[in-house]
């Protein structure tokens, strides 16, 4: 399904209201919850409770009290992360089908999984506003929507805080990252995200919006892999005066 950008925004605003008759993943079974049937729900792999509190990486050595080795070494600019599901299993498949198959409705189960995780996550409940990881112009044109933006709207609604979809903007096209190390990815991502510049008219129209100064921001994305992009977003927000950045992703790779 291809949706125009504005229609996709409406879809994002109503993802949590859509009640499909059949499972959105397989379209053969009845829906049990989150737009999925019982068989597909079993294919969603949860993120275990012993994941890293900073980056949500799965560690597998009991409940951690401190950051994982990668976080201890690279010191991410965001303070904490939560994920709706593991990227392995149906979670990642839904992300891939939504993005590359341009199927915005697959955001329904992803948003549901993420909203459940965020509601049960103490740092998230203290957020003042929700921001999404921005998409490049080219990707938005190709897909017709930004999946992160579709997911962020229902999360903000669940938390009862404003969603600011245009806080951040991409600068140019990010370099291909596949062959880079974690540190190289982080360097490559730095500077690819900036705060959205607002015209005087936009500032006037949004005069009740005082900006991010002193705010605790919940940053939403569809997947967290190395955390390089989330880190670049957190850096821009903190430099603009945000007090704290927390990350909520539909899936953790």
CB of 74 to Zn ion, least distance (A): 9
CB of 16 to Zn ion, least distance (A): 19
Residues in contact with Zn ion, shown as a per-residue x/- string from 130 to 149 under the rule CB under 5 A: --------------------
For 244, the 3-state DSSP assignment is: strand
User: Nearest CA to 226 among 66, 58, 57, 86?
Assistant: 57
For residue 43 the two structure tokens come to 């294919």
CB of 23 to Zn ion, least distance (A): 3
Binding positions for Zn ion, 69-88, rule CB under 5 A: 71
Q: Is 246 in the site for Zn ion (CB under 5 A)?
A: no
Q: ∠ CA 139-25-222 to the nearest 5 degrees?
A: 35
Question: How many residues are there in the chain?
Answer: 253
Q: Which of 8, 11, 15, 23 binds Zn ion (CB under 5 A)?
A: 23
For Zn ion, which is the closer residue by CB, 71 or 85? Answer: 71
As beta bridge partners, residue 190 has none
Q: Is 44 in the site for Zn ion (CB under 5 A)?
A: no
Q: In angstroms, rounded to a whole number, what is the distance separating the alpha carbons of residues 134 and 156? A: 16
Q: Which stretch binds Zn ion (CB under 5 A): 19-27, 92-100, 111-119, 122-130?
A: 19-27
Q: Are 151 and 14 in contact (CB under 8 A)?
A: no
CB of 227 to Zn ion, least distance (A): 8
């Amino acid at each position: 399904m291809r949706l125009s950008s504005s229609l996709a925004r409406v879809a994002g605003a109503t993802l949590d209201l859509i009640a499909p008759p059949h499972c959105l993943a397989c379209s053969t079974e009845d829906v049990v919850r989150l737009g999925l049937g019982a068989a597909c729900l079993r294919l969603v792999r949860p993120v275990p409770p012993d994941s890293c509190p900073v980056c949500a990486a799965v560690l597998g050595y009991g409940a951690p009290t401190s950051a994982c080795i990668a976080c201890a070494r690279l010191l991410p600019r965001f303070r904490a992360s939560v994920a709706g599901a593991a990227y392995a299993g149906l979670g990642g498949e839904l992300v891939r089908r939504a993005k590359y198959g341009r199927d915005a409705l697959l955001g329904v189960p992803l948003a549901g999984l993420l909203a459940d995780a965020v509601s049960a996550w103490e740092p998230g409940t203290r957020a003042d506003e929700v921001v999404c990881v921005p998409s490049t112009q080219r990707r938005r044109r190709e897909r017709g929507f930004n999946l992160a933006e579709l997911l962020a709207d229902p999360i903000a609604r669940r938390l009862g805080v404003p969603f600011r979809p245009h806080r951040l903007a991409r600068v140019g096209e990010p370099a291909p990252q596949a062959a880079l190390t974690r540190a190289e990815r982080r360097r490559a991502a730095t500077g690819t995200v900036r705060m959205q510049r607002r015209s005087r008219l936009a500032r006037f129209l949004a005069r009740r919006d005082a900006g991010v100064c002193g705010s605790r921001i919940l940053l939403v994305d569809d997947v967290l892999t190395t955390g390089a992009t989330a880190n670049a977003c957190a850096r821009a927000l903190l430099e603009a005066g945000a007090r704290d950045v927390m990350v909520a992703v539909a899936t953790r790779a």
